[in-house]
Amino acid sequence: MRAVAQRVSTASVEVEGAEVGAIGPGLLVYLGAAEGDGATDVAYLAAKIAGLRVFEDDAGKMSRSVRETGGAVLVVSQFTLLGDVRRGRRPSFTAAAAPELAEGLVEDGVRALREQGLQVATGRFRTTMRVRADVEGPVTILLDSRKAF
């Protein structure tokens, strides 16, 4: 699985003009599932996201996690994180999990984050979404359960 986590003051997602998820301070997480991903990948990313120390402490150092700050997480499914553009200009998505598998993995990821004690809002799988975010820093972290980067 791959994720892009951004530190935000607010974030929201709309589907067909209606807000389906919103958070205040916390993390906006774009989450994509790869072919072959499973429970180990979900657990790895959930633990990383919950413990990611990207929030400032009193000294101004990034040493606090979203859990420690009482922040929330907005998870938006994003198969395009698995896009490969090494050849040509049109992305290939063959590394992305099939939608039926990916939806379950994303749901498992949301459940795992909630089990970490986090408040989690979501987008809606397999829809066109409009995501709005006030990114702070900006702080943007790339995560990959297979440790490709």
* Residues acting as catalytic residues: 78-80
For helices 99-115 and 39-51, the axis angle rounded to 10 degrees is 40
* Strand ranges, E, within the chain: 2-15, 18-23, 26-32, 55-56, 62-64, 72-77, 119-122, 129-144
Rounded-to-integer distance, Cα 75 and Cα 140, Å: 14
Q: Tell which residue, 54, 74, 50, has the closest CA to residue 130.
A: 74
Q: Tell which residue, 32, 22, 21, has the closest CA to residue 96.
A: 32
* Strand ranges, E, within 51-123: 55-56, 62-64, 72-77, 119-122
